[in-house]
Homo-oligomer: A and B are copies of this chain.
């Protein structure tokens, strides 16, 4: 029997608090680039191990460091002057002895590079991999006794090897949704139509009462911007697009401001050659930005755990952060009457990870709904998700679950 507790959350729903702050660092932000590389390397290694050994061996690659380059952006197209430098750091199993005694050598360094480079080409297409950005790697070996089992026939649920903690929430507030969806839309359909918008889009949402301010810092790509007028139009276009998108998520008043630090008179604007501020002075590293749900939410409890790059088979911090978010979303999707839900999972060393020390769901119900009314159903959903904990591992490896 799992230790699942459902109780009342002893605070106002974030939606009802007086002041709310939310942030998302877009896909091209230096910290998010590192998160993305670390997670791409993790997927690449998982896949390598599954292909060669039939199970995921020990690795941990949650430490990518990015050192900014220098660039000389210019209307119509500038250039990178000194390349960005990225160092992939971590541990991975390099030798494996099969059951029939063959010694396999696993090309973890090369696979890490391939994964990182492919990820960069997809997400920051203006960045010439190899010349605008150097990708280097230092993968050591970890402890040899941590060769874990995922994908094997009869794979067991792994044991927790650490005291760790994950936390998730649902539903998102209006401000949270606007921040998250605006970045996704800007880096998705909007970018497809407007190549002048680079992937380094940072969105800050601030709500005071019923007034929502959305501040967007958007790196423009110089090859698609011919002069200051086109730049001004490009920022206006982003403003209008985000304002329009926001209306779909709230009835509150929304103000959108793009690139507020610009000084158009002085020509001091957010123009880049590659679409990321990493080209000029902004370093980055893993775990410094978005949490596992894609947001930074100081109004809510957060885990400090850097989820990206960690091994999804046995890293309990990664699994519990993703799973608690998944559980919270599942409960809110499948049930009515919940205004705010916070799910916390605390591991117990030496126990299977589907049996946490405690799974703790704290809830603020809608008017007219009591915690008791929802306890049984919520518990059942939580129990079912815990039972399928290895599903999180599979979805991470297949790239279905984002960690940033």
Contacts and interface: CB of A to CB of B under 8 A. Distances in A.
B142 A117 contact: no
Contact of A10 (B11, B80, B300): B11
A79 interface: yes
A137 interface: yes
Nearest to A208: B358
A4 to B, nearest CB: 13
A15 interface: no
A344 to B, nearest CB: 8
Interface string A214-240: 010000000000000000000000000
B134 A285 contact: no
Contacts of A134: 113, 134-137
Interface in A132-173: 132, 134-138, 140-143, 145, 161-163, 165, 167
Contact of A138 (B67, B117, B165, B299): B67
A326 interface: no
Contacts of A62: 283
A87 interface: yes
Contact of A72 (B70, B91, B107, B300): B107
Contacts of A11: 10-12
Interface size class on chain A is 35 or more
B110 A81 contact: yes
A333 interface: no
Interface in A111-137: 113-114, 117, 129-132, 134-137
Contacts of A344: 19, 298
Contacts of A17: 10
A404 B371 CA distance: 39
A298 B302 contact: yes
A80 B110 contact: yes
A18 B303 CA distance: 18
Given A21-B165, A65-B89, A135-B134, A304 B296 contact: yes
A65 B302 CA distance: 23
13 contacts: A62-B283, A63-B284, A69-B140, A70-B105, A81-B107, A83-B109, A83-B113, A91-B283, A110-B131, A285-B287, A289-B304, A298-B302, A298-B304
A-B pairs, top 3 by smallest CB distance, nearest first, are A11-B11, A65-B65, A82-B109
